[in-house]
Amino acid sequence: MTEAIIGTPINAKTSYILNQFLKNQEEIQKSFSGEIETVFATEDDLFAHKLENTLKNCKINSEVIMFKPNKPKNAKSRIWNIVSARNAIREYFLKSNADYLIFMDADMIFDPEIVNKLIKIAEKGYDVVYNGYLDRGNPKGINLTGFGGTLIKRWVMEKVKFRCKEKNGRVIDEGVFFEFDLVRIGAKTFRSFISYSEHHDPKSPSICYPGELNFSERVRNNPYLRFPFHLISILFCYDILWNLSMKLKT
């Protein structure tokens, strides 16, 4: 039987649609025929206790795990907390018997069939399956490299640990490092708008519908094309592709 773990970094600040998210997780788990568990990773003791009490009233197979942020003394960015949460989930996943780790952010809602759709693509030989979505608060901001419904096979997680970099106020996030490492280890990736999703900010959601990538999106998100840019970005701690996309939007 196929086993999957859904991993969700979360804290009090990012849980503003918690009730909707938990209801959606119930629907997702109900739609999946295999064994599935949603794992919440938080650094906040008080929030962890509240979440555990809330989950008692939900029909979700779940676990709340605590982590201590692993970051340099002079770190200022919250990215270190996110990376630490992902690594805590990664460690939990590797101790399990699950075949797939699927990250779903706490501010997102998905088609209940998303896990089935992601696994169906993975079974065609892909090691990582990215579900494209829209950036929060920016309906025109397409994201095909984030972790909003991203499936990762076990062998990839055995070889790759999440990491980031911060220097002089500049940050390279875990998404850049992850893409870089996928090429380095020879993992096969698939990217598309696979599942309906809602990316919520406190006011309203950015809604993304399923669909194929156009030619420009396929070219811009080619991992081998992006690899040298990521290599330079990591060396100089300056995210070239992100900064270029920001300039093109202005």
DSSP string, 61-125: -EEEEE------TT---THHHHHHHHHHHHHHHHHS--SEEEE--TTEEE-TTHHHHHHHHHTTT
Strands (DSSP E) contained in 92-214 are 100-103, 108-110, 128-131, 133-134, 142-143, 150-153, 165-167, 170-172, 189-192, 197-200, 205-208
Q: How confident is the model at residue 141 (pLDDT cuts 50, 70, 90)?
A: confident
Cα–Cα dist 131/147, whole Å: 8
Residue 164: both structure tokens together: 């980031």
Q: How does pLDDT run across 124-136, given as a tens digit for each residue?
A: 999 999 999 998 8
Q: How confident is the model at residue 139 (pLDDT cuts 50, 70, 90)?
A: low
Domains of the chain (ranges; CATH) run 3-249 (3.90.550.10)
Longest dimension (CA), the chain: 49
Describe the strand order of the beta sheet including 62-66 as a list of residue ranges: 62-66, 35-42, 3-9, 100-103, 150-153, 128-131, 189-192
15: Cα separation from own chain's centroid: 15
Q: Report yes or no: 22 and 8 within 8 Å, Cβ to Cβ.
A: no
Cα–Cα dist 205/189, whole Å: 27
Label the pairing between strands 165-167 and 150-153. unpaired
Q: How does pLDDT run across 206-249, given as a tens digit for each residue?
A: 999 999 999 999 999 999 999 999 999 999 999 999 888 877 66
DSSP, collapsed to helix, strand or coil, labels residue 193 as strand
Q: Specify the pLDDT at position 249.
A: 64
pTM score, two decimals?
0.95
Helix or strand holding residue 5 (H, E) = strand 3-9
